[in-house]
Amino acid sequence: MGLRILGVKDNESVDYPLFLLRSTFFCRNGCNPTLKHIPDSVVFQTFSKSSNNILLKALLPLCDGRNNICIFCPHQSFDFTLDKLPMNESRPYVRPIYVTFNGHDGSFQAPSNVSSNPDSACRRLGLAVRILQSATAEIILAETGYRRSFACAGDFRTPSKIPPRVSASPVSAAVWCIQSKLSFEEAQRMSVISLWETLARELHNVFSEDRGQAKWLAVVSCTEFKALATTETTPLSHEAIISRTVAYCALGAGGLALFGSGNLYTWPESIVDLEIHLSDLRKVNRRQFLDDSAYRGTYWANYTTALGTMLHELGHCFDLDHSPEGIMRRGGDDLNLIISFPPPGVSSDFRKVNGIIHAPLGIHLIQVRMAEKTCSPFCAELWNSKRRANTPELPTDITMMRGCIVWHRSFKETPKTFHIAKVLQSISSQLRGAAFKVVVLDLGGFTSQMTFSDGDRGVRSHPPYQNAI
């Protein structure tokens, strides 16, 4: 029997209200761990692939002061205390805002059976921001050994001058609903940059108390995917999907991180629905609604991609530049793995045997990319001089080449095998000495990477998901 709590000590103090607990659990009698009743807590469990342990993650709402936590089974228990400190009133903060437009009811695009009014939008945004607050603390813990996160407007004892639409709680940040002076149609006709500039000026006037203190995280209600006619082909590429989406926003700079509401319909309104939404394997109707899921096509993937995008753009507001890896590159697509585990279902067993990629669930997309540590301007110039007309040109700036796609193919009818050997031989003959990685995305939304060098020596396959916590 054994229980191990990871990354937290008894009597540890935090100043944000939704805490992520991670632990491993083993009982010879086959018991599952139970968390002593904490209202609105969410528990995720899975079995370790390398041991008999149960892996557990739990989102725990904390009240101010001491919070007694107990994990137990009939044969053992573990008790510890977390101390929730009040927020420092002088700290800068993030203010979540849902923006509606003049002459419009403020609803966002959604299927008819999904609530889409401004109240629903604000509840979805409030939960998302709390999750991002917790995820940020865990990301910083992994880098520094200390939990640090951003504060949220509404978490301070001093009330805001303008009351929020959704009040702050341990499971939701406070959210404000503001109507822009722009009409719905005017907002849709604007470029993203023009919309960002206009709303930044408006919010500057509305929230005068925020000047020099706040970053605004705003979601606009005017995003709209133009449904396809019967004769039109379903778009396969991200670019084709975005070209059909009006007011698609993902732009963070200065004091404003601006986002569209195109896939807000895939977000949960309440923390009690979080587990369901993070394991929702339903496919998005890509002919009627926006699918912004990093080619994975499911409801859960749309939600986690949106969370990662929001944290990425908020990072720009915190003066973070792009980085070779992690959230400030494209690591946010799998942000769900910070707080939970991979969705249920058959896990892909990606293999590459004799130059053939095998993916039991079917291959949706294959890319060959430049490996991170072997990019060079010489390789780029060599590729550009020999490339075919329909293949992309590589930038010669070495910092721009990291992860560059040199070959890409998506599949309408998804095969379970693909002969990659000739593709690799062709690329290796043009970029001798360089190293690459093959990225495979299957129909289940799982991804895998296989790295290889000139001559396809030393292939290393990385599993689609790591269950380590």
Residue spans of the domains in the chain: they are: 2-84, 93-339, 351-462
Instruction: Decide which of 112 and 365 is more confident.
Output: 112
Residue 429, pLDDT above cutoff 90: no
Contact assessment for residue 259 and residue 310, using Cβ atoms and an 8 Å cutoff: yes
Between residues 343 and 386, the one the model is more confident about = 343
| 160 has a pLDDT exceeding 90 | no
Helix 118-144, helix 299-317: angle, nearest 10: 70
Residue 462 clears pLDDT 70, i.e. is over it: no
Residue by residue, DSSP assigns 251-263 as EEETTEEEE--TT
Least confident stretch, 133-137, 333-337, 413-417, 451-455: 451-455
388-417: average pLDDT:
69
**What's the pLDDT at 49?**
67
Q: Is 355 left (phi over 0), alpha (psi -120 to 50) or beta?
A: left
Q: Which two tokens stand for residue 88?
A: 């420092």
User: Which H or E element spans position 349?
Assistant: none
CA 203 to chain centre: 26
Alpha-carbon torsion (21, 24, 28, 30), positive or negative: positive
Per-residue pLDDT, averaged over 248-262, amounts to: 97
Instruction: Tell me the percentage of the chain whose pLDDT exceeds 70.
Output: 85
* pLDDT band at 415; cut points 50, 70, 90: confident
Report the 3 state secondary structure along 57-99.
EEEEECCCEEEEEEEEECCEEEEEEEEECCCCCCCCEEEEEEE
What is the model's pLDDT at position 347? 54
Give the residue with greater pLDDT, 458 vs 248: 248
**Is 93-339 in CATH node 3.40.390?**
yes
The pair of structure tokens assigned to 288 is: 């009627």
Complete DSSP assignment for 279-348: T--PBP-TTTS---STT--BHHHHHHHHHHHHHHHHHHHTTPPP-SSSTTTTGGGGTHHHHS-PPSSPPP
pLDDT confidence of residue 461: 42
Number of Cβ within 10 Å of residue 34's Cβ equals: 14
Q: pLDDT tens across 353-375, in order?
A: 777 888 877 888 888 887 655 45
- The chain-wide mean pLDDT, for the chain, equals 86
Alpha-carbon span 339 to 127, nearest angstrom: 13
- Two tokens at 14? 């935090």
Highest mean pLDDT among 111-120, 376-385, 421-430: 111-120
**269 against 79, higher pLDDT:** 269
Global pTM value: 0.79
Residues in CB range of 70: below 8 A, 6 or more apart: 35, 36, 77, 78, 79
Q: Which strands make up the sheet holding 76-84, listed edge to edge? A: 12-14, 76-84, 65-73, 34-35
**pLDDT confidence bin for 161, thresholds 50/70/90:** confident
For 194-241, what is each residue's pLDDT tens digit?
A: 999 999 999 999 999 998 899 999 999 999 999 999 999 988 788 899
Highest-scoring range by mean pLDDT, 108-112, 404-408, 455-459, 463-467: 108-112
Q: At 260, list the tokens.
A: 């569209």
pLDDT value at 41 more than 90: yes
Confidence at residue 142, expressed as pLDDT on a 0 to 100 scale: 86
Q: Residue 28: what pLDDT?
A: 76
The pLDDT of 231-256, averaged and rounded, is 93
Q: Which helix (H) or strand (E) holds 352?
A: strand 351-353
pLDDT digits (tens, 9 = 90+) for 293-327: 988 889 999 999 999 999 999 999 999 998 877 78
Q: Which pair of tokens denotes residue 333? A: 């697509």
Q: What pLDDT score was predicted for residue 372?
A: 55
Most confidently modeled range among 51-65, 119-133, 449-463: 119-133
Average the pLDDT over 289-294 and give the result.
94
Q: Which residue has the higher pLDDT, 315 or 469?
A: 315
The predicted model gives 156-172 an average pLDDT of 92
What integer pLDDT is reported at residue 5 of this predicted model?
Answer: 84
Q: Return the structure tokens found at 220.
A: 């606009």
The architecture (CATH level 2) of 2-84 comes to Sandwich (2.60)
| Predicted pLDDT at 456 | 46
